[in-house]
Amino acid sequence: MTPDSVPPAVLPQWHLLPNGLRLGFIQLPAGSQAAALVRVNAGAHDAPGEYPGLAHFLEHLLFLGSQAYAPTQSLMPFVQGCAGQLNASTRERHTDFFFQVPAAAFGEALKRLLDMLARPLLDPAAQLREREVLQAEFLARGRDRETLCDAAIGTALSCAHPFSGFHAGNRETLPVEAPAFQKALTGYHQRFYQTGQMKLLVAAPFSLEQVLELLQSDECQLPVAPNVARPIQPLRADDGGTLRLSVDGARPYLDIAFALDGLPDEACVALDVLGSWLSSQADRSLFQTLSDAHWCDAVSLRVPYWHDGQGVAVLEVQLTERGMAERAQIVAAVRDWLHFMSTQAAWSELWGEYAQIRQRGLMGKEPLALLRYWIDPAAWTPSIDTNRVQQALEMLGAQLHASRPIVLTVDGEGCARTKRIEPVKAGFELDLVAEQLPPSDRTGWQWRLPERNPWLSERMQPGVAALQIPSLRWVEHADAAGQGVLYLRWRFAAGQPPAGLWHTLHAALRRHAIAAAQAGVELHFDDHGHSWCLRLCGYAEALPVILRDLTDILKAPSPAAFNEGHRLRYESVTSGADEILIRQLLRRLPLLLAGAARDGDASLDQHALDQAWHQSHWDTLAVGLPRHLSGPLQTVLAELPGLAGPGAGQYDESTLRYCWSRFGQPGVETALVLFCPLPLRTTFIEANWRRLARLMEGAFFRRLRSELQLGYAVFCGYRQFGECPGIVFAVQSPSASASEILAHIETFLDGFAGTLDEVAAADPSTGNHDGDLRRRAESLWQAHLAGFEGDHPEAVAAASANLDARAIRAQLQALRDAEGGWHVVANAEAPDRRWHRC
């Protein structure tokens, strides 16, 4: 097997079971977590037209209990209690349900998943509550740029198609009190939630025979019926259209959308090939050409709809001010580039690098990520017929060249009230008008394929070397399977670095994150206030090469990166429309906790960066890398900016018990994040707080989201922000004020104290789950950031095995008393005088 070939262990083996269910199975090595994914081949476009959102609504309802499992014992609280992950997604023609848990919990999780799909309770009272959750989600999506863009594109289709309809659902479209709606709901469930419409994918560290035996249990029995045939309506946009959409707070974008129809099955893979090359930011790429002309900051491909040879493909260009004036040129350039790529570019080069990217991406994926990859019809496989994909690319290119695209400009400027387009069944209110693009002179384009990604092939000379850098900690990991994780932290003196320098480096690294991802490496660069952290995770052989090349960029970013840093610094103190508010608040927490000074007048230039690096100290953690990389890695580390060593790390952290930080302005929704740090950083207290957080997670979600219906963005859990561990509570609500949200959180904590013993007794604890590489590396790094020794994760796991309810109750009281402090970030002012502005 060549270094870049796909390990047989990540390829699913498909089986048709006697009941008609298709089962895909991947046997993982011992010690892995386990995952399952069910795809129901029915989605929003299959719901009754008189009840938009019914399919999405049913997806929500299925999580609210089943015949074998009451709501408090159903899949969501069970997976949360196992520290696992789960979710679901309703798309146009399919609905997915998926989870990942420790292997020991897989059987119970699968029983709960299949039982809820086959035998949901559909309780009328729960339906009323969940409709309010969908209403909150609808309100949030009504401000989401991509959602509104897709609705606007749908108005330009030249014949009726479900893509142009409204499918999100809201209070008005889901009349749960009506018998006709209940009949439609149960009818949709009975028609599609059966074996002929389902696929089950499993990735687990046990045998196929064990899975088949588990599927014989009563809870796993599914209704048996054949596949349901449904007609596909034509999808056309014969006249194209040029539109302008206003979205509050949005940066300028240009969407160039194509309606595609009648293509072979391989066309979705051919479109993925185009998307892979479109994402390149190397020399001669489409992005580089547009960026050199100062027309754009980013280029990407979205496919909001694809089914059975038809779909909508959107090439999205993030515009500069100059680009707004040259939109006609950009459209011409994009169309010319698509024509070149589908008819003139050397197929062997196109396919060769694409296949290598997909091969590399499959290495090191977590179980759930593997399943989500293989369920996609655009998934590349080693056995795919390349000739058929090439033919599909030619057919795709012919449609792209012959059709008139829908050209949509979106920005934050309100559209003129004249010539307004009234969308049919758009569901979302659209500030949309028809417009003509400004005229522009034609330019001849001389396209060539972008430079190949060197990180796919380049390697440093291997060599085993004694560890001579004191600030490097090297941790072995059995069965790393060619993967590794590398963390770097630069620490600065108080008052450093100047505001905006992190944004400059973030802008400089962002374009290289795509190339790193193509080489099988995730790149993250985080701002923790008085420290910056770089994480490289993935294909181990590529890590030293990537870090070597990034070092030059960190030392001397381009002038364009400094310009981008100025803009990003400004946007960092204002809320943007392209990201949910709760995520923006969470991103600000590390800065608040570090008490980092933010000097808005500090200069952003190379001299300021040189000074910051000169005063920095760095330390690093390498987990899972093979020993022959110890030499090249230390060679690269010797060239890093800053001085090797942990640095002082003593800052003026706030000692106030109640701190409140306001971010953004009050708006349609209120978002609040409450973070409660550990009162003392000891192994015993951390073990208790981790267990306490897991016990509260499901109950908090049920109380504030399902029962109180505060909103759809509700969660709590144990988190570490920068160097500070603790428990976080987060709520985004369209109805409650900040003071009301805070009061609900405090009331929940008071009530939870009375039920703690009962909840703890029913806790499905499955022990420590840090056996796989990524989880182990992250736990080691978080312990290091928090100032613990290297054996801290194991010590916490040992302490967790001996906790009792009395100790957990005492720590809940410490949390309620804010012994470690309460830190709030919200888009509102503090409700009372106990809070100090931070």
Least confident of 221-230, 435-444, 596-605: 596-605
Instruction: Write down the H helix ranges in 158-207.
Output: 179-192
Task: Give CA–CA dist 463/586, Å, rounded.
Answer: 41
The CATH code that applies to domain 241-447 is: 3.30.830.10
- What topology is assigned to 455-644 in CATH? Cytochrome Bc1 Complex; Chain A, domain 1 (3.30.830)
SS3 content of the chain, % helix, strand, coil (to 5): 40, 20, 40
Most distant CA pair in the chain, distance: 76
Q: Flag whether pLDDT at 333 surpasses 60.
A: yes
CB 205 within 8 A of CB 31: yes
Q: Are 535 and 522 in contact (CB under 8 A)?
A: yes
Place of tokens 């004020």: 737
What's the rounded Cα separation, in Å, for the pair 505 and 138?
36
Q: Let me know how many helices (H) and strands (E) the chain has, helices first.
A: 25, 24
1: pLDDT strictly greater than 70: no
Task: Convert the pLDDT of each residue in 772-819 to its tens digit.
Answer: 899 899 999 999 999 898 889 999 999 988 888 899 999 999 999 999
Structure tokens at 295: 């027309």
CA 333 to each of CA 260, 280, 317, 340, 673: distance values in angstroms, whole numbers, following the listed order: 20, 16, 12, 10, 44
The mean pLDDT value for 321-333 works out to 94
Which CATH number applies to 8-220: 2.40.30.10, 3.30.830.10, 3.30.70.3400, 3.30.1490.20?
A: 3.30.830.10
Q: Look up residue 597 and give its DSSP letter.
A: -
**DSSP string covering 529-544, please?**
SSEEEEEEEEEGGGHH
Per-residue model confidence as pLDDT tens digits over 138-184: 988 898 999 999 999 999 999 899 999 999 999 999 999 999 999 99
8-220 and 455-644, same CATH topology: yes
Q: Collapsing DSSP states into helix, strand and coil, what is residue 720?
A: strand
Domain boundaries, the chain: 8-220, 241-447, 455-644, 658-837
CA-CA-CA-CA torsion sign (577, 581, 585, 587): negative
Hey, what are 459's tokens? 């390697």
Across the chain, mean pLDDT equals: 91
Model confidence pLDDT, tens digit, residues 523-546: 999 999 889 999 999 999 999 999
Over 60: is that where the pLDDT of 652 sits? no
State the pLDDT confidence band at 759, using cuts at 50, 70 and 90. confident
| Domain 658-837 superfamily per CATH | Metalloenzyme, LuxS/M16 peptidase-like (3.30.830.10)
pLDDT given at position 265: 94
pLDDT at res. 575 = 55
The alpha helices in 279-326, defined as continuous H runs, are 286-292, 321-325
Please compute the mean of the pLDDT values over residues 327-340 and round it to a whole number: 95
Report the chain's C-alpha Rg in angstroms: 27
Segment holding 213, helix H or strand E: helix 208-214
pLDDT of 495 reads 65
Torsion of CA 549, 551, 556, 559, to 10 degrees: 50
Angle at alpha carbon of residue 694, lines to 125 and 66, rounded to 5°: 35
Among 800, 385, 828, 209, which residue's Cα sits nearest to residue 575?
A: 828
C-alpha 402/C-alpha 460 separation (Å) is 47
Residue 46 pLDDT > 90: yes
- Tens digits of residue pLDDT in 131-140: 999 998 998 8
3 state SS of 464? coil
